[in-house]
Structure 1
Amino acid sequence: MDMELGLYTFGDIHPDPVTGAPTSPAQRLRDVLERIRLAEEVGLDYVGIGEHHRPDYAISSPSTVIAAGLAQTSRITVGSAVTVLSTEDPVRVYQQFATMDLYSGGRVELLAGRGSFIESYPLFGASLDDYDELYDEKIGLLLALDEAERVTWSGRFRPPLEDALVLPRPSDKPGLGSRLRIAVATGGSPRSSVRAGALGLPVSYAIIGGRPASFASLVETYRLSFSHAVNPRPDGPFVSVAGMGFLADDGRAAREFFYPYWRESMARIAAERGFSQPNRIAFESQAARGGAYFVGQPEEVAERIVELHGVLRHDRQAFQMDLSGVPQRESLHAIELLGTQVAPLVREALGRASA
């Protein structure tokens, strides 16, 4: 079987932890578009664009960057990673993604999440006391919009809709019809796995630590819940895995290069959230076989992807390879290796296993 491979980015604009060189938001956005173009050129399947409302990331409006990426490509899927649906208007989000879906020929994907950072909540007037209720209501409205062009609906967090005509409608896709590609993002809670399955939607697991194989029970929970969904997506269950990774021609060189960028990003989050500071031992543990970080040379990363697929049977794996502003030259080389060397090895191995 084929498995999709790709990358995702938040548009990090931290000063380079090695050289101290700054990167402007404008330059980073141009860098991201270059990465999307290269990802398509080297045969990758997916690029995800994240959403943050902080000074250390360049992308606060993922749909704008996605639109630019789709306009410069012809084959690859470009989607959100994630859209913080809890602080958005589902009607406007639906219109934006349906528009992109039409002109790209169905290549856009909406990954709907609640967000691991909370800056968007006060920015858009949402209360953290309603954290779960906001998401539940808004994903429900988003799916209602996807089901029919006229919607009657009422809820707590936005004005009601009375036979509202919501246009445009998405393109017609094989196996899916005139619907958007909508998925649910989760950090790994059982409740989110059940919700995604019950809604009949694809699920994306952000695995940023620990042992990815331990997510097997969550994946099975999702698939079981999907099998009992009232209105499942006709193209069936779909499992994505997202996490940190980096590639270089030599495995040790990849880990040596990536470590200071990883440490800078993790140290900043640890300081904000009161976690213990990251260190080399923790990094090496997670970058070793069985860990959450896929950092190394192409053959070893491909082997680890295939090994994880044997446990999770997932359909897509995407890597965040530009933490803390990894320079563009190294970022592009990592993308090239992922597409030209890792992807063929993974597909060959999975093809043999399927046969």
Structure 2
Amino acid sequence: MNKITFGITTFLESGVDADSGQISHFERINHAIEEIVKADEVGIDFYGIGEHHRSDYAATNPEMILASAAKLTKNIMLGSAVTVLSSEDPIRVYEAFSTLDNLSKGRAHIMAGRGSFIESFPLFGYDLEDYDDLFTEKLNQLIHINQHEVSHWKKTKHTVALNDITIYPRSYRKELSMSIAVGGSQQSVVRAAKLGLPMILAIIGGDPIRFKPFVDLYKYFYIASGHDESKMEIGVHAHGLITDQDESEFFERYFKSHHAYFKKIGSERGWSETTKSMYYHNIEHGPLFIGNAKRVTDKIERVMKSLGINKFLLHAPGAYMPHEDVMKSLELYGLEVIPKLKERLS
């Protein structure tokens, strides 16, 4: 498999209400620039921003924010987490990220996905009945544009024809770095494997180890499709935040905002309300990677070894937390957690 890498992702959480913590989109977007610079300084491999179109997130246009940070950083990969490709134009996606790739000298990354929220579909005039076809057709066109300097693409229901056309600017490298984010769909896992694209498993519920069958499924179809096993890349994406403060006090502070977020999302989706006992269970045995550096290091190590993967993306903060908490988490992640994990997993 490919080398072991570690990253940070965020939806630029700006908060649900004043009681559980809330800041303006102006503040959250500018905090993100500081986070990216810090992440680069402490040696984190990747910083990704997830596209959303709702009031509690400040990330409608990740590429603009990443481009603003490109000239302030040197090594860190800059990407989406995710680009909701179903409601995007693949041509414009390529143009935006190839521009970012040139600004950053080859550090742009597209993480394509269908997204866990559907606000972008009515916003941009798409029908949810076309949910699967939209993603499939647009992903195939984006891959074609990325791999061919001169495009010859036959029109489909959801994409335009490209007849002997070059999309500019071309990326700094021969091809843009790309991956596919998946949830709990076997079809999505198999598609990513057959295409030979890196896969990121988004884990928001249950023990992360239960995703092992998806990892095994990906590996089987990746190898069966004739792709180079040494280039295989599989990662997980899970919420977390690292602290050097008293854990019990930190857990209580994080719970207030975490509970408010999931209560709001749960009311939209018909989920049962998260209790404090469920929250603490998720810290110990579930998908929350929260606590001191040792706790988080040990948990990431267990998950990566058990799943047999080579990439971990810590989604921070996952719910609104003060900027100083996020910056401290990045520092601990880059300077303490990641070096220990690379040593243990090497």
TM-score under structure 2 length normalisation:
0.95
2:239 alignment counterpart = 244
Aligned to 1:257: 253
Map 1:1-355 to 2 at 5 A: 3-15=4-16, 18=19, 22-153=22-153, 154-172=155-173, 178-229=174-225, 232=227, 236-249=231-244, 250-288=246-284, 290-351=285-346
8 Å Cα contact 1:299-1:345 kept in structure 2: no
CA distance in 1, matches of 2:295, 2:75: 28
Q: Partners of 1:65 and 1:169 in 2: how far apart?
A: 20
Secondary structure at the aligned position of 1:304 is classed as helix
Aligned residue-pair number: 343
Secondary structure at the counterpart of residue 295 of structure 1: strand
Measured against aligned partners, the alpha-carbon deviations of 1:214-251 in whole angstroms (never above 9, x if no partner) come to: 11110111111111336x57972211110111111243
**Aligned residue type for 1:214:** R
Contact map agreement 2:183 2:203 (CA 8 A) in 1 = yes
Unmatched 5+ stretches in structure 2: none
Which secondary structure state, in structure 2, belongs to the residue aligned with residue 159 of structure 1? coil
C-alpha separation between the residues in 1 aligned to 2:49 and 2:278?
27
CA contact (8 A) 2:240 2:318 kept: no
RMSD, matched Cα? 1.7
Relative to 1, partners in 2 of residues 1:345 and 1:254: Cα closer, same or farther, differing over 3 Å? farther
- Give 1:15 shift: 4.9
**Structure 1: unaligned runs, 5 residues or longer:** 173-177
% of aligned pairs identical?
35
Moved more, 196-205 or 308-317: 308-317
Query: 2:141·2:159 contact (CA, 8 Å) conserved in 1?
Result: no
CA distance in 2, matches of 1:31, 1:101: 22
**For the residues of structure 2 that align with 1:112 and 1:165, how far apart are their CA atoms?**
22
Alpha-carbon separation, structure 2, partners of 1:342 and 1:195? 32
Q: What SS class does the counterpart of residue 231 from structure 2 fall into?
A: coil
- Following the alignment from structure 1 to structure 2, what is the Cα–Cα distance between the partners of residues 235 and 108? 22
| Residue range with higher mean Cα deviation, 309-318 or 325-334 | 309-318
Deviation at 1:92, TM superposition (A): 1.1
Taking structure 1 as reference, are residues 161 and 272 closer, same or farther at Cα in structure 2, changes over 3 Å only?
A: same
SS in 2 for 1:330: helix
| 1:197–1:222 CA contact under 8 A, matched in 2 | yes
SS of 1:275 mapped into structure 2: coil
1:116 and 1:161 map into 2 onto residues whose CA distance is 30
